[in-house]
Structure 1
Amino acid sequence: MKCKPLLVLLVLCLFNTVFVHAGGVKGVVKGDNGELLSFATIYVKELGTGTTTNADAHYEVQLPPGNYQIIFQYVGYESLLKEVQVGNDFVELDVVLKTQVMLLRDVEILAGKEDPAYTIMRKAIAKSKFHTQQVDSYTARVYIKGTGQLVDYPFFMKGTLEKEGFDPDRVFITESVSDIEYIRPNIYNEKVISIYTQGDDNNTDPNAYVNGSFYEPEVAKSVSPLSPKAFSYYRFVYDGTYRDQGFEVSKIKVIPRSKGDNVFEGYINIVEDYWSIYSLDLRVTKLGVNFRIQQTYEPVEKNVWLPVTHKFYVEGKVLGFEFMGNYLATVSDYKVEINPDLDMEIDVIDEKVEEELAEKLEEQVKDEEMGEIQEMLTSGKEVTRKQLRQVMKAYEKMELKRQKEPEVISNRTFKVDSMAYEQDSTFWANIRPVPLTQAEKKGYATADSLANIARMEREGDTLKTGKRKGFHLQDIIVGNTYKIADKTHFRIHTPLLGTNYNTVEGFNIDYAVSLTKTFDSKNWLSLKPTARYAFAREQFSGKFDMQYGFGEFDTRSDISLSFGRYINQFNDDDPINRYVNSLMTLFLERNYMKIYEKDFVELTYKKKLGSKLTMRLNMQLAERRELYNNTDYRFFDIKGDGFTPNAPFNLAMPVTSFPDHRALTAGANFEYKPWVKYRIYNGKKSVVENSSPIFQLNYKKGIADALDSEVDYDMLELGFKYGFDIGIRGQVDVMLKAGTFLNNDEMYFMDYKHFLGNRTPFVTTDPVGSFRMLDYYTFSTNEEYFAGSLHYQFRKFLITRMPLVRLSGVRESFFANYLVNDVTTSSGYTELGYGINYILRVFRLEAVTSFYDGKYQDFGVRIGIATNFEDIF
């Protein structure tokens, strides 16, 4: 198993140092007890350069000739400043750090009195927004190294791994050097100038980490100890104060009020008076995977503290694969531009401790405008936490108005230099700021041999590696994708995934190929013909799909054209998955899927009318035919049961059979996201999920008489969907739909409003907005209707009160689904359920009770994919 996917969770690995010079300083760093201090921080003040010792406590800093002040740091030890004169050769400098002497403040801690940690953290939290706005911009050079190893794996995978030549003892390594640029508030540019990775996949991004700051309320969806809500999540304990590099630093223990996912525990060190981070050592668990983050900060400019080294450890077990990884990031050549509006020193007053002074300060500005408070800040006077929050809030609003795109929360570019993969081992030996250990050297030797094999294969060497290149006969069955020209790909879709079973067609098979052409970053074309054969009907059918997309992101257009003869479920939303239906039909004699055939041509146009509003127009002309069961084959004959007819059952329309007919329909859909937020990556926008509620307006028209159409109806529907956090890690998802038929003069059953029902043990549709036990078509209607879903996911409820359960990533949820229309009674149909999410990280198990007309109807257990699975990371 490769460790590079774990780089997505490296929220805190931001910086590095690299210099290519002949001389420098090198040596070993130990503690005064003789302990080797692995990953101790070394900071060169004159160059703003940070690096660390390696796992063996060795370090090596390449420097041009000159005089330098070098600071050696390690958590729990006193920092040591060494002045060194560097010539053309390396200076040997072994360092011994003294154990840190911790002094307790002269504060009397009585029973029932508040721990002094709280006033320290209140001041640090109050100033966190100031720190995020303090720097206008900076540039730096970043070095990142990740090493990892597969510790254990399922026994049944041993043969496969050996066949692939996988050595479980091998240490995987990836290194990169990048130039980065940050521009307040959210622009981050990165150019990778060199990459060294294990394996042969040179298309992999080894620097694909997520940037984060502990001054922000959340870091990788975990609550920061400096969040305004931190006191709801954490207890803080004062462990003492020490003096280091001329600063008073307080050590604060961070204790979760409730252990589990997305809360940190460990230590954070705060610089007195500045109320900035000096260093931190925190642990967090995400879905049973354990992470440890260590950061060291330095005053790279006066009053500006930025991280210079990051250490990141990960260990966990996923589906039987146990892994561990270590990641390191260091910084060099910080160049910082300070925000002139906030180039000041502020003395923060805690109202809860210094009550009289706080009252006096607040009285002075009680009737004054915010501008006068701002003037007080610039004068360097004392301010209360409340005043500081007011000023920073007003300042951020002012800054937001100045932004051209205030809805964009991050704008990142990532580029790789054309020569980034071409640097040899000599280059890396010169530029690498942290020496390799012997185990890492062994990993590199193995990686080099694999890379050579890959290179020879790319260059046409006859050496065989077992990978399929070009077309092979087995591709007809297993599928494959081929690059046939620049930005043009041809794909054979495996028919193994297109094989299914139902009582109308018996075994049926879809065979599809597709051609995709990307013209530029804005325009693309896709062509996909699909052939279908039904064995029980002994008939061929098929369809052709064409899609063309063009335009800028905020005004983008997509045109789709489809035509052919194909099978459809009566509900166009496909409530039953075809694989689940095959399983239920063959093994349990349940033919829930109800289908009909149509010859059709359909045109769809989708257009973005700005960043918040999307329009979708659709028109279809179809010849629709009823289908009947043609086979009763199944693997097991269940006594007393039998297959039902292919005609759906509905309370309002007892006979759903229909004659062959023609239908011309048209529809319009409008989707509005008033507060939507975006991220930009390499110029491409992407929507931040759940950043805004979604309002929908749908209209569908059955057009009578035109082109011999035999349908005449008008349907109007309003929809609302929103997901948001509530309370301490509670997550709420709501979906509401209400509609009516303004006209239902001529309709067939497929034109009715259907709902996402389910009668199987499996839930494959969206868990928000779908029913767990509702029959697929019983309550379909051509009158008014209302449907609603409410999901509330708890961080701690019943079984998640046990820390071991929470630490495994399991969460619990409660949900309610409701439907009322002219077919149901006035009390409608209701489902109440309890779910356990993220079992083995990807599944959910639900217990559901249904009620009809206010009376108990049924109970069931359902299995599905975890709710909000896309939000895990």
Structure 2
Amino acid sequence: MRKYLLLLILCLTVVIADAQQFMLNGRITGDKGEPIGFTSVYIRNSTYGTTANELGQYQFKLAPGNYNIVYRFVGYREKVVPVSITDHDERLNVQLENEVFSRDDTATYNRKTDRGMAIMREVMANRERHMNEFKSYTCQVYIKGVQRLTKAPKSLMSSPVIKQLDLDSLGRGILYQSESLSEFNLQRPNKFKEITIAAKSTGGSPAFNYNKASDLQLNIYQNIFYIDGLRSRGFVSPVADNAFKYYRFRLAGTTVSNNRTIHKIAILPKSKRSSTFRGFLYIVDGDWRVYSADLYLTEENDNINLIDTLSISQQYIPVKDSVWLPASIQYDYKGSVLGFKFAGYYVGIYNNYKIDQTFPDGFFNGEVLKVDTAANTKPSSYWNAIRPVPLTPQEMRDYRKKDSLFALQHSDPYLDSVQLENNKFSLPSYTIFGYEAKNRRTKESFYVAPLYQSIYYNTVEGWGIDAQVKYTKKFDDLRSFSISPEFKYGFSSKLASPMIHSEYLFDQWHRGRVFTNFGADVMDLSNVGTRSLWFNTLSSLLFENNYVKYYRNQYGNIGYERELANGILWSSSVEYSNRRQLYNTSYQHIFNPKNKEYTSNNPLAPPGTPADDRSFLFPEHQAFTFKTSLEFTFGQRYITRPDGRTFVPSRYPKIVLNYRKGIDGVFGSDVNYDFVSINISQDHIPIGLTGYSSFRISAGDFLNRRNLYFMDYNHFSGNQGLTFDPTDLASFHFLPFYQFSSNDAFLEAHYQHNFAGAFFSRIPFMRKLKLEEIIGANFLTEKNNMNYSEFYVGIQRLFFRVDYGVSFTGDKKYIQGFRIFYGIR
């Protein structure tokens, strides 16, 4: 018995010893002792490794055994050092030698005969082979991001600012740090799923954010790739199949590293501003694949946003003899805003590749990112144990301070004091933004709409008040309930309009909700809306343009919405209404434009009809209406976080099927019709180097039109003012609000293309403005109306946009002119 017990103890000892891991760390320097930051460090013949920090310090854990450690950095000779891990941590400092790339000739560069051109032809010929070396893989990805303030205007560096941002006397300090650890799964050609195991961040929002593994999936073998946040147009890869149209290449030198011949190729764009990279590619001779890349973009040459320069460094390693994949990728950036200069980086480390994995059915279900419920709660001890890139002293100090600050700011006394301060009433704030009070413990909030939205004027009601409040209650399981009482009163019409709107979100994961609304209101005759109370007030009082036409509606409705499956959203509702015609009762104005008068509240009244017209549009009647729709979002993608689900724009069109029925005889209903329509749309379709396009096509018809009234017609999103809303692609620039409303078959189409600066970026005096060029067309055809069309061109910068367009009814010019948008809808 004792013999077997000793054998068992011995086996357990061996297992425990084998399971133990010890730290290998050290510092990487050059031949002059300078640190070589962000050097790739990995175990030869494996896919496990790390990257040094900016001070050249590295660390990672290894089980006892013998290893060959590879050290690689662009511009330095690759070094392989054998190391033995026994029963303790090991420190291994490494000095790298400058890589010497020799050329066979020293002749003047000739673009036709330079060997770099021939080498790149071989790379391009093998591009497809390298892209298709694997069908799928899974790996572990660690991402670290840091943004620093490197210089700040002295005039703005007061003591409170320096203290708050933890800056030194020169205005330097860390503004933002982030780390994440994920499992990344990819299946060619375009399916991926990322599971975030741990995530940590401190500081404010950075200039742009790449803290997900999918953000750093830069495949240099693709013809065109996009870098989110920098600009809407793509960049031509230097190994694209048409790269010779945009680049010349020069052999900068050749070296032999670990029995591989490596060519250093200089990337020379043919045009200074042609959506191209600059820098160097390192190519493996014979295999004609990318060994590493050292590329950069600049604001001056590439018209990128937010930053001045972006450097991209990527290291590839052999996962198998015939498969090479990135071991690391790094983005370094610099920029300046209003005298503040900043710099930062994101580095991604890829470990433990498993090639040609077989994923279970349904694994790629549209969920592109899932954040574990405990991802953001990992303690410092966890990060100290798994962090592959050691922190610098400054980063450690920043974490300690901001972690302590975070703990303070999330303590109950602090949160209670913040809540008390935020819940104080401020008249200036209420006037513009409204008033909101929250109770974080009960997860309740109370909101009052801003004062400027509460006072309005129109010719039907005269001056009026619109008092709106909203109560919201959230539950721990992500359910929520809201109720919004509203009261409107028109002093001229003497119409009181009490209403209650409520919604119960019972399934946040699948957009499941129930809603109900009831009360009385003075409503727009167009069910797609025309102008808000606020804009209609301004256009009426300042220009005597009472564009919106109103009717009285006493109503009650109830509806239901939920996803039936990923990408299939079903909604349905029923409504009962009592509807009657209204007339103008007030004719006030602030200015009286010459020869300008208010128009009738009957949208079908002929031009010249006086404002006090009481012509007949429809009788008072009752309507019982049923609506349902199915929305198909093909290839719908989404992100799942502990606080809910957010949707990612699909790469495919969306189709919406609508059915609306007026049911005769139910509760005295007078309507009897059936309306069907289909909408097909897609936003932001990337068109390579020339920006992106969007389109929407809608068609419909009344299958039965035995009895319906004007508000039951199919209405279109028209526009009759100087401003317009470009966020709604289905809106027209010049179409009258009600003139084309249809009770018959129709077809409408909208197309818009944003060149995203493709032309303006080539004009020296306009380049810095970063304007985006836009063209578009809208079309409408109906059975009982002439065809309507409009064409426009525009320029856009951030939320400001100016368009000039011309419209036609049939073949006759209708309206032309400018339309503007300045962020307010």
Q: Which residue of 1 aligns with 2:131?
A: 129
- AA paired with 1:195? K
CA-based RMSD of the aligned residues comes to: 4.7
Cα deviation digits, residues 726-785 of structure 1 (max 9, x gap): 574453333233333344444332222221111222222644221111221122232333
SS of 2:215 mapped into structure 1: coil
Q: Does 1:625 align with 2:586?
A: no
Q: Name the residue aligned to 2:177.
A: 174
Aligned equivalents of 1:602 and 1:278: distance in 2? 64
Among candidates 761, 764, 772, match of residue 811 of structure 1: 772
1:148-187 equivalences in 2 (<5 Å): 148-149=148-149, 169-176=172-179, 178=181, 180=183, 182=185, 184=187, 186=191
The counterpart of 2:215, out of the listed 196, 205, 210, is 210
For residues 60 and 610 of structure 1, the distance between their equivalents in structure 2, rounded to whole angstroms, comes to 46
Distance 1:633-1:273 versus aligned 2 partners, 3 A rule: farther
Which one-letter code corresponds to 1:178 in the other structure? Answer: L
Distance 2:111 2:248 in 1: 16
Q: Does 1:460 align with 2:413?
A: yes
Q: Measure how far apart 1:848 and its partner are.
A: 0.9
C-alpha change, 1:738 and 1:518, in structure 2 (3 Å) is: same
Indicate the SS of the match to 1:37. coil
CA contact (8 A) 2:146 2:176 kept: yes
Which of 280, 291, 296 in structure 1 is aligned with 2:310? 291
Contact 2:238–2:267 (CA under 8 A) maintained in structure 1: no
The aligned runs of 1:526-537 (5 Å cut-off) are 526-534=481-489, 536-537=491-492
Q: Comparing 556-565 with 256-265, which one deviates more in the overlay?
A: 256-265
Match of 2:502 among 546, 549, 556: 546
- Give the alignment partner of residue 490 of structure 1, picking from 439, 445, 457: 445
User: What's 1:768 paired with?
Assistant: 729
Tell me by how many angstroms 1:831 deviates. 1.0
What are the superposed Cα offsets for residues 616-670 of structure 1, whole Å, 9 maximum, x if unpaired? 4332211123344454455544444343343324669985644433222233434
Q: Deviations over 1:839-873 (max 9, x none)?
A: 1x33332111122332223322122379xx9xxxx
**Inter-partner Cα distance in structure 1 for 2:68 and 2:738:** 77
For residue 816 of structure 1, report the CA deviation from its aligned partner.
1.3
The answer on whether the counterparts of 1:664 and 1:707 sit within 8 Å (CA) in structure 2 is yes
Q: Residue by residue, what CA displacement relative to the aligned partner does 1:422-466 show, whole Å, maximum 9, x if unpaired?
A: 326xx76776554555654664465355335425xx1426996x5
Paired residue total: 768
Summarize the Cα distance change of 1:209–1:118 in structure 2 as closer, same or farther, 3 Å threshold. Answer: closer
Query: Could you tell me whether the CA contact under 8 Å between 2:678 and 2:700 is conserved in 1?
Result: yes
- Match of 2:347? 329
Return closer, same or farther for 1:450/1:589 CA change in 2, 3 Å cut-off: farther
Alignment of 1:282-431 (within 5 A): 282-284=295-297, 286-287=304-305, 289=307, 290-316=309-335, 324-329=342-347, 331=349, 334-339=351-356, 404-405=361-362, 408=365, 411-415=368-372, 417=374, 420-423=377-380
In structure 2, the partner of 1:382 is: none
Rate the CA distance shift 1:232–1:786 in 2: closer, same or farther, 3 A: farther
Q: What does residue 8 of structure 2 align with?
A: none
Deviations 1:681-707 (A, max 9, x none): 469887653533344443333333432
Equivalent residue runs for 1:143-292 within 5 Å: 144-149=144-149, 169-176=172-179, 178=181, 180=183, 182=185, 184=187, 186=191, 188-193=193-198, 195=200, 197-198=202-203, 210-214=215-219, 215=221, 218-220=225-227, 222-223=234-235, 225=237, 231=243, 234-239=246-251, 240-254=253-267, 264-284=277-297, 286-287=304-305, 289=307, 290-292=309-311
- Tell me, in whole angstroms, the C-alpha distance in 2 between the residues paired with 1:180 and 1:162: 38
Q: More deviation in 178-187 or 592-601?
A: 178-187
Which residue type is aligned with residue 641 of structure 1? K
Please, which of 661, 676, 681 is the counterpart of residue 621 of structure 2?
661
Counterpart Cα distance in 2 of 1:590 and 1:303: 71
The residue type paired with residue 176 of structure 1 is: E
**Is the CA contact 2:199–2:375 (under 8 Å) kept in the aligned structure 1?**
no
1:5 aligned residue: none
Counterparts of 1:282 and 1:241, CA distance in 2: 18
Secondary structure of 1:565's counterpart equals: strand
Per-residue deviation, residues 46-88 of structure 1 (Å, max 9, x unmatched): 8855444444445566767765533333212222333456785
SS at match of 2:545: coil
Q: Classify 1:338/1:544 alpha carbon distance in 2 versus 1 (closer, same or farther; 3 Å).
A: same
Q: Scaled by the length of structure 1, what TM-score is found?
A: 0.75
CA contact (8 A) 1:728 1:795 kept: no
Return the offset for 1:255: 5.3
In the aligned structure 2, how far is the partner of 1:649 from the partner of 1:410? 50
Per-residue deviation, residues 81-121 of structure 1 (Å, max 9, x unmatched): 33456785764635242243144699999775792144233
- Decide whether the 8 Å contact of 1:601 with 1:620 is kept in 2: yes
Letter in 2 for 1:149: L
Matches for 1:65-144 after TM superposition, within 5 Å: 68-84=67-83, 88=88, 91=91, 93=93, 95-103=95-103, 115-133=117-135, 136-138=137-139, 140=140, 142=142, 144=144
Unaligned 5+ runs, structure 1: 1-18, 341-398
Provide the residue aligned with 2:13 in structure 1: none
Structure 1 pair 224/656, CA: closer, same or farther in 2 (3 Å)? farther
- Distance in 1, matches of 2:649 and 2:376, equals 36
Moved more, 512-521 or 236-245: 512-521
Corresponding residue SS for 2:450: coil
C-alpha deviation, 1:467, in angstroms: 5.6
Paired position in structure 2 for 1:375: none
Specify the SS of the correspondent of 2:530. coil
State the Cα deviation string for residues 698-730 of structure 1 (Å, max 9, x = none).
333333343222334443434333454457445
Per-residue deviation at 1:190? 3.7
User: Which residue in the other structure is 2:12 paired with?
Assistant: none
Give the aligned partner of residue 750 of structure 1: 711
Indicate how the Cα distance of structure 1 residues 244 and 519 shifts in structure 2: closer, same or farther if over 3 A, else same.
same
Aligned partners of 1:742, 1:803: CA distance in 2, in Å?
57
1:665 alignment partner AA:
T
| Partner Cα distance (1:493, 1:678) in 2 | 35
The verdict on how the C-alpha distance between 1:821 and 1:155 changes in structure 2, with shifts beyond 3 A counting, is farther
Q: TM-score, normalising length from structure 2?
A: 0.79
1:317 and 1:596 map into 2 onto residues whose CA distance is: 54
Distance 1:547 1:463 in 2: 28
The aligned residue for residue 354 of structure 1 is: none
Residues in 1 aligned to 2:245 and 2:604: alpha-carbon distance in whole angstroms: 52
Gaps of 5+ in 2: 1-18, 229-233, 610-614
Aligned equivalent of 1:783, options 728, 735, 744: 744
Distance 1:811 1:601, change over 3 A: same
Q: Could you tell which deviates more after superposition, 533-542 or 469-478?
A: 469-478
1:526-605 → structure 2 map (5 Å cutoff): 526-534=481-489, 536-537=491-492, 540-548=496-504, 558-605=513-560
- Give the match for residue 693 of structure 2: 732
Q: Amino acid of the residue matched to residue 170 of structure 1?
A: G
Please tell me whether the aligned partners of residues 117 and 236 of structure 1 are also in contact (alpha carbons under 8 angstroms): no
Number of the residue aligned with 1:480: 437
Q: Determine whether 1:692 maps to 2:637.
A: no
Distance 1:789 1:152, change over 3 A: farther
What do residues 387-444 of structure 1 show as CA deviations (whole Å, max 9, x unaligned)? xxxxxxxxxxxx9xx97349746643222547845326xx767765545556546644
| Aligned positions of 1:710-725 closer than 5 A | 710-723=670-683, 724-725=685-686
